[in-house]
Amino acid sequence: MPLTTQLFQGLTHLGSGKVREMYAVGSDSILLVASDRISAFDVVLPTPIPEKGAVLTALSMWWFDQLADVVPNHVLTAEVDEYPAELQPHAEELRGRSMLCRRLDMLPVECVARGYLTGSGLKDYRTTGAVSGQPLPPGLLDGSKLPAPMYTPSTKAPQGEHDENISPADVVDRLGADLAARLERLTLDIFGRASSMAASRGIIIADTKFEFGVDPAGMIRLADEVLTPDSSRFWPADQWEPGRPQPSYDKQYVRDWLVRSGLQGQAAELPEEVVEQTRLRYVQAYDLLTGLSFADHLSAGAGGGQARSHAG
């Protein structure tokens, strides 16, 4: 059954995001639980996408492992059998869709990287000729490859409100020059590594966003989720064609359906076909990017470990 909202008895609930629930575990850890909720245009839709939370967790865990030499992350474990005793009564509900993580002092900036022009970046460009205050050449189209990957940070808005693009200089004003420079460098380094890996699998990462936090020792760590169909645009490279919306393996399918239906910004129920097509795209993103099988991952018990490779 899809998991939409779950409050686990005996645990301290810290808050809800659009997709995740957060719980305190001791004084220095938190439990992140990925639900099957989906949001679009800053609205959480009432229709869940089955297995979505498990895809987000499995893909994030895979990327955290691939990027470990680029940036440390916040994950302690996603193996439910390794969770503290207080979590064991909820083991089956948590399996495959949760991560036990370090508590961090989260930084109040969404760190967005763009390799292609689309979404809010395209909207800004059409209005100002720039994205996040950074000028771009004239004549770019929806889906155009940018001259170089860009760091285009945004605000981190409360649920129900809209993130706003800000300039790198605004981040300096908020966080100081040193920390701002480190975030920009990390964002572009991660994006470069991930884009290269995805390209070798026939996938364009058009854009993505990262969240960072600082641990008690002062180390910056990659947090939340990473490079999932919720936080990224994944395009099949062999179908890329600037000047039009691109086919994708992400939640753009839901956004497009809402726009076509005149339901943008509304808490609209999704038809069964849209639900299944969205679930399929999320699973395809996992399979194509990792070279693993999400179906195998589920059949193996959807633990924190990775699914078997098709190559064995």
Domain boundary assignment for the chain: 106-260
At 123 the three-state DSSP class reads: helix
- For residue 312, what pLDDT is reported? 25
Give tens-digit pLDDT for 198-240.
Answer: 999 999 999 999 999 999 999 999 999 999 999 999 999 999 9
Report angle CA 70, 202, 111 to the nearest 5 degrees: 40
Q: Is the pLDDT of residue 158 over 80?
A: no
What mean pLDDT comes out for the span 66-76? 98
Amino acid sitting at position 124: D
What mean pLDDT comes out for the span 133-145? 97
What is the band of 147 on the pLDDT scale with cuts at 50, 70, 90? very high
At the second CATH level, the architecture of 106-260 is 2-Layer Sandwich (3.30)
Q: What's the sign of the alpha-carbon dihedral 256, 262, 265, 267?
A: negative
Could you write out the three-class secondary structure of 150-203?
A: EECCECCCCCCCCCCECCHHHHHHHHCHHHHHHHHHHHHHHHHHHHHHHHCCCE
Q: Is the pLDDT of residue 16 over 80?
A: yes
Task: Tell me the pLDDT of the chain averaged across its residues.
Answer: 92
Give tens-digit pLDDT for 266-291.
Answer: 999 999 999 999 999 999 999 999 99
